[in-house]
Structure 1
Amino acid sequence: MIDLHIHRSPTKPSLRLSEWLNVLRAGVLGMNDGIISTAGIVLGVAGAQQSSFMLFIAGISGMLAGAFSMGGGEFVSVGQQRDMQRATAAKQRQAISDDYPKELAELTRVYTAKGISTELAQQVAIELMAKDGLSATCREKYNIELGNYFNPWHAAISSFFSFFVGSILPLLTITLVPAKWKVAVTFFAVGCALLLTGYVSATLGQTRRRKAVLRNLVVGLLTMAVTYAVGHLFAI
């Protein structure tokens, strides 16, 4: 078995920026899905003219099913990513053991490609390979930091609770607002929430905010409209 353990300080390291961003990404997506999915479910039931109790049961069921689905999906996805990182690191360690000069030459080419002179690049590569060749080559060739793999539990917990929190808004509006206004209020409240999650998602992803917000809003409102219309077809 190949040991990829590296020595660390006694204190527990904090999450790196990349992992914090991964957790936030999972949280925002989970909340967004919680809002849209639960709103779609309760509006579909509302369209079928069901009682407030039935709306509540449908909403709770969708909330729990969606939260476990999102959390489990993130756990599997990030866990697979972590396994791939570890396998790549193990493969790279073997490559260094089998052909050290080749890996040294590849690391040198990485630095020359960044604009460093050949002589200096070779000197840097030699020193890094002598100190910790596995860490240096994994970082430069595969963007992997040894020992700092993504934790699937962080993403899973973030997705689970964010989906749960996102589900609360449509669930409360559809069950607590008077029957005359519950559908309209739910549409409005969910629309506002989608504007917020779209903005946050675009900010984290460093993409165009207006486009992301409008896209998120349109998809959410369309989902709710379709489910409400389908439910209305089966109105009692």
Structure 2
Amino acid sequence: MTDETDVFEPHHKDLGSRLNWLRAGVLGANDGIVSTAGLVVGVAGATGSRTALVTAGLAGLLAGSLSMAAGEYVSVSTQRDSEKAAVELEKWELREQPAAELTELTQLLVRSGLTPDVAGEAARQLTERDALRAHASVELGIDPDRLANPWHAARASFVAFTVGALLPLLAITLPPQSWRLPVTVVSVLVALACTGWGSARLGAAPAGPAVLRTMAGGALAMGVTYLVGHLLGTAGG
């Protein structure tokens, strides 16, 4: 027999959440690539010092990853607070006005496509089994046991940005001086093509436009920062 809760808790109930995390990871890596590439290429336009490049790259990596982590922590903490407040309100409503809540759940199920009779029976059984979970899921789209975790978000953003930032940092510092810029530009554009393709696949969108956008944005960032660095280096020299 099919469990009534299967309608609201399918086998792949975490798929949307996982895709969101994957998408955030791809975007975080993309930010790490572009911001660090722009920084080190700008410095390379001003000086050929490996020490200066490593210092600037590491500073940008740490500043960017910590900033991303802090931003995600604050953002997701706010989301979690909102979710907790909504769940607490739902608890109060279920305790103080259960009949009205049952009617509301029935109406929501009718709007989802069930007939009134079936919706009424489903609402009754769901409420009897786990009222808070049923009402929070259908009314709010929240699982009371799986609220947003700010620490997970912060950690994921920190790691994604760091991984992305390592590529241009290594590409600009490891090769001989004459190869630094070509290797960095090619490596960054290839990596951006991969993140563009990945974000498009996760969003079920055409890959071509996403790849072109990410590559164009990265190329523009590196071009502008290199020009600025070169002009400042020339003026300083």
TM-score normalised to the size of structure 2? Answer: 0.88
Q: Which residue of 2 aligns with 1:92?
A: 90
Mapping for residues 15-94 of structure 1, pairs under 5 Å: 16-94=14-92
In 2, the alpha carbon distance for the partners of 1:24 and 1:204 equals 8
- Residue 171 of structure 1: aligned partner: 169
Moved more, 82-91 or 126-135: 126-135
Choose which of 213, 230, 233 in structure 2 pairs with 1:232. 230
Unaligned runs of 5+ in 1: 1-14
Select the residue among 214, 217, 229 that pairs with 2:215.
217
Cα deviation digits, residues 102-133 of structure 1 (max 9, x gap): 21111111111122111111111122222322
- Which residue number in structure 2 is paired with residue 3 of structure 1? none
Give 3-state SS (helix, strand or coil) of 2:177's partner: coil
Alignment of 1:100-111 (within 5 A): 100-111=98-109
The offset of 1:50, in angstroms, is 4.1
- Please list, as runs of the form range in 1=range in 2, the aligned pairs for 1:120-139 lying within 5 A after superposition: 120-139=118-137
User: 2:203, 2:156 → 1: CA distance?
Assistant: 17
- 1:46-86 CA-to-partner distances (Å, cap 9, x unmatched) read 11124111111100110111111111111222222122111
- What are the within-5 Å matches in structure 2 for residues 135-214 of structure 1? 135-214=133-212
> What is the aligned partner in structure 1 of residue 9 from structure 2?
none
Structure 1 residue identity aligned to 2:160: S
Question: How many residue pairs get matched?
Answer: 222
Task: State the distance in 2 between where 1:39 and 1:225 align.
Answer: 10
Q: Secondary structure at the match of 2:187?
A: helix
Distance in 1 between residues matched to 2:20 and 2:70, nearest whole Å = 16
The residue identity in structure 1 corresponding to 2:93 is A
Q: Tell me the equivalent position of 2:8.
A: none
Q: How far off is 1:227 after superposition?
A: 0.7
The residue type equivalent to 2:94 in the other structure is I
Alignment RMSD, CA only?
Answer: 1.6
**Kept in 2: contact 1:27–1:155 (CA 8 A):** no
Distance 2:204 2:140 in 1: 23
Indicate conservation of the 8 Å contact 2:42/2:227, yes or no: yes
In structure 1, what is the Cα distance between the partners aligned to 2:212 and 2:228?
24
Structure 2 stretches lacking a partner, 5+ long: 1-12
Q: Distance in 2 between matches of 1:211 and 1:29?
A: 16
